[in-house]
Chains A and B, each alone.
Chain A
Amino acid sequence: MKFSPRISIITLLMLGLAAVPLIADSIDEPFYTVLFSRMLILSIGAVSLNFILGFGGMVSFGHAVYLGIGSYVVGIGTFHAVEDGVEWLGNGFVHMAVAVAVSALAGLIIGAISLRTHGVYFIMITLAFAQMFYFIAVGNENYGGDDGLSLYMRSDFSGLLDLSNDNSLYYLNFGFLLASLYISHRLTNSRFGMALRGTKSNEQRMKSIGFPVFRYRLVAFVIAGAICGLAGVLSANQTDFVSPAVMHWTRSGDLIIMTVLGGIGTLFGPVIGAIAFLLLEELLSGITEYWQLFFGPMLVLVVIFARGGIDGMLAALDRWWIQFSPKKNPEGD
């Protein structure tokens, strides 16, 4: 195998992520575990969005709704587990199963209506649905309404895993990130994924050769929603707090930014994007209160000059490397 800067950087990144809690513990800065834990969760959200956005060309401006659904499943479940003593409602497996089911159902309904539209109409109708869920959460006084709900406990995995330990939670998040990457990889390279990519580049042709485009898109939409719902479960456990703000439209916007910043339609792009986004936020806001003054134009520049996002830049690095590296094997490539 030939050396590729892109693959080595991504490998290093993943290895680095695997080692974060160890490093944080050894320098006695457990805060970094928490910070990176959040990055992992939003990475999962971005990976799921990338599946429909990057491969399916569906610009959903309401993807955070599933983060909200997953979060509220945990919030409401643990609330009753503690208040009413219904123990199984605090169970993590129950949370995940319910979150996946509800998110998939929501995805099915939202998708079935939204996918009839195109372009900006699709963007706006997905936003509209997200806003509806947002206001349902705002209006639900029993579970804190606008103020949100502080979790009394984290999801309980019946002794298998103790989530009150930040490191365990970190590795759970990491495991789910790897799983979502695997699913994304398998799906996009399957016949289904190929067809989906086909609908992105030329919907008309796919239709005329007999692919049920609507159904393919809907299935993708539902899968993406279900995965993001899982990220919501993790997110609630991570923050010990659930509020409508999780599914505010700016959150959906953040997910899009992460995906595009990292590079849409690539496997690792969303992960790179999520980490870069949150790192920049953390670093810049630490330097100056006016950090958005720099972050804003940076986004514009990335869009104008760095098509393909960070992953695209890495790919360019690869091409540069091939061009200028000493060729041992002239027949290669």
Chain B
Amino acid sequence: MNWILLLEQTLNGFQLGILLFLLAAGLTLIFGIMDLINLAHGSLYMMGAYFAATFTQWTDSFLLGVLLALPACMLFGVILERIALRTLYTRSHLDQVLATFGLILFFNEFVRLIWGPIGLDIPLPELLSGSVELFFGIRYPAFRLVIIAVGIMVAFLLYLLVSKTKIGMLIRAGASNRQMVSALGININLLYTVVFGLGTALAGLAGMMAAPIMTVEIGMGEGILIITFVVIVIGGVGSIKGAFVAALIVGFIDTVGRSFLPDILGLFVSNDIADTAAPAISSMLIYILMALILAIKPQGLFPPKGA
């Protein structure tokens, strides 16, 4: 086996994991605190990418585009929460699934109406569009390194926010006992709005980070949404730490599976079968992992206390 390749694939897995974490963090926060299953989280990811693409076009700078898109996303999330989602907090999960599924359909067509059916592109600055040489002669795309750096930074900031600030305290309290927080006279509605805005910004940021690698296009958030749900369920709903660990595991398994399964399978069956079966089996891996983990720990790896 080629160790440099393995190392590079590990890095790729890490990068995918980081991207998943950005999405999962917002989703798990919203779920943990408002008890809302938000299928439209993928749409927020899409909106982030579209905002960033538009602002990048206006300003001719990817950095400015992202800096403008972040508050735009947050504002978008706050408006969405006020108009549509607030009434859903007290509803059953089933109602939430249904209503937010409706929102997915709406946002897809809305984007098509505004930005057209052809996707958009985000041109990267010269500095980030190539690759850089790392240790052992590994060349790695510069922008993917940026994704990793941004993800780690966000993870660290989230950790500080949740464990060191007053709002973080409320978030933790809200995740384990919602009634108690509101009984203590905290403006729970404001907390909800803040958390939703934060979650939207995180999803949007993930979209902005993914956009230059993949296309900005309609429905871009749907495939990744399901994987994100897998991540938060494996990690334990409501747990940011769980989301982080699970995102890295899922990213790693997905990438390494895709890369090495054909060779591994080739040891047992004919190459033709291995070539065609491997993509399917590697896509199954994360679901098998989730089923296994839930069969052993029905509340995920890091269930929040009191849940």
How far, in angstroms, from A291 to B226 measured CA to CA in the complex? 24
Evaluate contact between A304 and B290: CB separation under 8 angstroms. Answer: no
Instruction: Choose among B106, B113, B229, B273 the residue with the greatest number of A CB atoms under 10 Å from its CB.
Output: B106
Quick check: is A131 within 8 A (CB to CB) of the other chain?
A: yes
Chain B contacts of A53 at CB under 8 A? 94
Q: Please give me the residue from chain A that is nearest to B39 by CB atom.
A: A253
Quick check: is B224 within 8 A (CB to CB) of the other chain?
A: no
Q: Which of B84, B108, B229, B276 contacts A139 (CB 8 A)?
A: B276
Evaluate contact between A296 and B102: CB separation under 8 angstroms. Answer: yes
Q: Please give me the residue from chain B that is nearest to A131 by CB atom.
A: B287
Chain B contacts of A300 at CB under 8 A? 84, 99, 102-103, 106
Evaluate contact between A117 and B237: CB separation under 8 angstroms. Answer: no
Quick check: is B298 within 8 A (CB to CB) of the other chain?
A: yes
How far, in angstroms, from A113 to B110 measured CA to CA in the complex? 40
Q: Please give me the residue from chain A that is nearest to B92 by CB atom.
A: A59
Evaluate contact between B298 and A118: CB separation under 8 angstroms. Answer: yes
Chain B contacts of A264 at CB under 8 A? 94
Evaluate contact between B91 and A303: CB separation under 8 angstroms. Answer: yes
Given contacts A128-B230, A129-B291, A296-B105, contact A120 B237 (CB under 8 A): yes
Instruction: Choose among A135, A256, A291 the residue with the greatest number of B CB atoms under 10 Å from its CB.
Output: A135
Chain A contacts of B8 at CB under 8 A? none
The number of inter-chain residue pairs (CB within 8 angstroms) is 135
The tally of residues in A whose CB lies under 8 Å from a CB in B reads 44
Quick check: is A170 within 8 A (CB to CB) of the other chain?
A: no
How far, in angstroms, from A135 to B279 measured CA to CA in the complex? 9
Q: Please give me the residue from chain A that is nearest to B300 by CB atom.
A: A121
The smallest beta-carbon distance between B289 and chain A, in angstroms, is 9
Chain B contacts of A116 at CB under 8 A? 294-295, 298
Q: Please give me the residue from chain A that is nearest to B275 by CB atom.
A: A141
Quick check: is B82 within 8 A (CB to CB) of the other chain?
A: no
Chain B contacts of A249 at CB under 8 A? 226
Evaluate contact between B109 and A293: CB separation under 8 angstroms. Answer: yes
Chain B contacts of A140 at CB under 8 A? 280
Chain A contacts of B31 at CB under 8 A? 120
Chain A contacts of B290 at CB under 8 A? 124-125, 128
Q: Please give me the residue from chain B that is nearest to A260 by CB atom.
A: B98
Evaluate contact between A121 and B298: CB separation under 8 angstroms. Answer: yes
How far, in angstroms, from A304 to B95 measured CA to CA in the complex? 8
Chain B contacts of A298 at CB under 8 A? 102
Given contacts A135-B283, A145-B276, contact A303 B299 (CB under 8 A): no
Chain A contacts of B157 at CB under 8 A? none
Evaluate contact between B37 and A297: CB separation under 8 angstroms. Answer: no
Q: Which of A139, A253, A290 contacts B109 (CB 8 A)?
A: A290
The smallest beta-carbon distance between A50 and chain B, in angstroms, is 12
Q: Contact mask B93-133 → A, CB, 8 Å, 1/0?
A: 11101110111111111101100000000000000000000
How far, in angstroms, from A135 to B98 measured CA to CA in the complex? 25
Quick check: is B206 within 8 A (CB to CB) of the other chain?
A: no
Given contacts A59-B93, A113-B295, contact A139 B280 (CB under 8 A): yes
How far, in angstroms, from A234 to B94 measured CA to CA in the complex? 28
Instruction: Choose among B31, B98, B290 the residue with the greatest number of A CB atoms under 10 Å from its CB.
Output: B98
Chain A contacts of B179 at CB under 8 A? none
How far, in angstroms, from A301 to B140 measured CA to CA in the complex? 48
Evaluate contact between B102 and A117: CB separation under 8 angstroms. Answer: no
Evaluate contact between A135 and B281: CB separation under 8 angstroms. Answer: yes
Within 8 A of A (CB), among B30-64: 31, 37
- Size band of the interface chain B makes with A: 35 or more
Quick check: is A132 within 8 A (CB to CB) of the other chain?
A: yes
Q: Please give me the residue from chain A that is nearest to B101 by CB atom.
A: A253
Quick check: is A123 within 8 A (CB to CB) of the other chain?
A: yes
The smallest beta-carbon distance between A46 and chain B, in angstroms, is 13
Evaluate contact between A124 and B233: CB separation under 8 angstroms. Answer: yes
The smallest beta-carbon distance between B279 and chain A, in angstroms, is 7
Evaluate contact between B87 and A304: CB separation under 8 angstroms. Answer: yes
Q: Contact mask A262-282 → B, CB, 8 Å, 1/0?
A: 001000000000000000000
Quick check: is A164 within 8 A (CB to CB) of the other chain?
A: no
Quick check: is A292 within 8 A (CB to CB) of the other chain?
A: yes
Instruction: Choose among A53, A141, A292 the residue with the greatest number of B CB atoms under 10 Å from its CB.
Output: A292
The smallest beta-carbon distance between B178 and chain A, in angstroms, is 14
Quick check: is B214 within 8 A (CB to CB) of the other chain?
A: no
Quick check: is A24 within 8 A (CB to CB) of the other chain?
A: no
Quick check: is B277 within 8 A (CB to CB) of the other chain?
A: yes
The smallest beta-carbon distance between A251 and chain B, in angstroms, is 13
The smallest beta-carbon distance between B186 and chain A, in angstroms, is 25
Quick check: is B288 within 8 A (CB to CB) of the other chain?
A: yes
How far, in angstroms, from A135 to B107 measured CA to CA in the complex? 28
The smallest beta-carbon distance between B192 and chain A, in angstroms, is 17
Evaluate contact between B284 and A257: CB separation under 8 angstroms. Answer: no
Evaluate contact between A256 and B277: CB separation under 8 angstroms. Answer: no
Chain B contacts of A145 at CB under 8 A? 276, 280
Given contacts A139-B276, A300-B99, contact A113 B109 (CB under 8 A): no
Evaluate contact between A296 and B104: CB separation under 8 angstroms. Answer: yes
Chain B contacts of A293 at CB under 8 A? 105-106, 109-110, 113
Given contacts A257-B101, A295-B102, A296-B105, contact A113 B291 (CB under 8 A): yes
The smallest beta-carbon distance between A210 and chain B, in angstroms, is 23
Evaluate contact between A117 and B280: CB separation under 8 angstroms. Answer: no
Quick check: is A105 within 8 A (CB to CB) of the other chain?
A: no
Evaluate contact between A141 and B276: CB separation under 8 angstroms. Answer: yes
How far, in angstroms, from A227 to B56 measured CA to CA in the complex? 53
Quick check: is A82 within 8 A (CB to CB) of the other chain?
A: no
Give me the 9 closest cross-chain CB pairs, A-B, nearest first.
Answer: A139-B280, A299-B102, A296-B106, A296-B105, A293-B109, A292-B105, A128-B287, A303-B99, A117-B298
Interchain residue pairs with CB less than 8 A apart (13): A125-B291, A139-B281, A253-B101, A290-B113, A292-B106, A293-B105, A295-B102, A295-B105, A296-B103, A297-B106, A300-B102, A303-B102, A304-B87
